[in-house]
Amino acid sequence: MTVLAYEIMTPSIKAVPQAWTMDRLARFLIDNEITGSPVTNDHGDIVGIVTLKDITEFRWNANRSDTDCKLTPEEEEEARRLRMFIFEEMSKVPVEVRDIMTPSVLSVDEQTPVHDIADTMMREHLHRIFVKKGKKIIGIITTYDMLKLISDKELMQRCAL
């Protein structure tokens, strides 16, 4: 008997509003000891996903230099000065979750076999995927949930069948 999505999913989803600031999001992720969260709109619908990686990439892009371009030393200095000005101005307006989230939401049906979910997660380089019942998201499967599957002998035997 195959193990299905609903058997290993985490039914409680800790979602964040898209209007939260990036700093509030970072605090939320740290407080809940998670690395990512679904993002909801004003109606409570899931509209994307945001992770620590998104925060890191945003901060990294704010501080990086353009080493791919061939600029004169004067042009490099001007580009650095402009970049610093832009990010100083941007820091006056808080960055919101909607600005850094991934707006696509990948999901599987609750009856999807775990093997298929693992294939999808590997192919798409995902650390989490939503589980749906009809059109409603009812849970989430993370890489941690997949590891729990491996540690459960009964479930592992069912996967091997």
79 occurs within a structural domain: no
How sure is the predictor about 152, in pLDDT bands with cuts at 50, 70 and 90? confident
Poorest-pLDDT segment among 2-11, 89-98, 111-120, 133-142: 89-98
Is the model more confident about 120 or about 62?
A: 120
| % of the chain at pLDDT higher than 70 | 89
pLDDT of amino acid 63: 58
15 occurs within a structural domain: yes
Is the model more confident about 145 or about 135?
A: 145
Interval 103-112 mean pLDDT? 92
Q: What single-letter DSSP state applies at residue 134? A: T
80 occurs within a structural domain: no
135 occurs within a structural domain: yes
Q: Contact 89/83 with Cβ under 8 angstroms? A: no
Q: What single-letter DSSP state applies at residue 33? A: T
Q: Exposure string (b/e) for 64-82, b if CB count within 10 Å is 16 or more?
A: eeeeeeeeeeeeeeeeeee
Distance of CA 52 to the CA centre of its chain: 7
Strand order in the sheet with 128-133: 107-109, 128-133, 136-142
Q: What are phi and psi of 129, to 5 degrees?
A: -145, 140
Indicate which CATH number applies to the domain containing 147.
3.10.580.10
74 occurs within a structural domain: no
pLDDT of amino acid 74: 86
How sure is the predictor about 113, in pLDDT bands with cuts at 50, 70 and 90? very high
pLDDT digits (tens, 9 = 90+) for 33-88: 988 999 999 998 889 999 998 988 887 765 555 555 677 888 888 877 887 777 67
76 occurs within a structural domain: no
Domain with 31, as residue range(s), is 5-56+96-160
How sure is the predictor about 94, in pLDDT bands with cuts at 50, 70 and 90? confident
pLDDT of amino acid 62: 59
84 occurs within a structural domain: no
Cα 45 to Cα 159: distance, rounded to the nearest angstrom: 33
How sure is the predictor about 157, in pLDDT bands with cuts at 50, 70 and 90? confident
pLDDT of amino acid 13: 85
Interval 104-121 mean pLDDT? 93
Distance of CA 157 to the CA centre of its chain: 31
Residue with tokens 């200095």: 77
Give the chain's domain count.
Answer: 1
152 occurs within a structural domain: yes
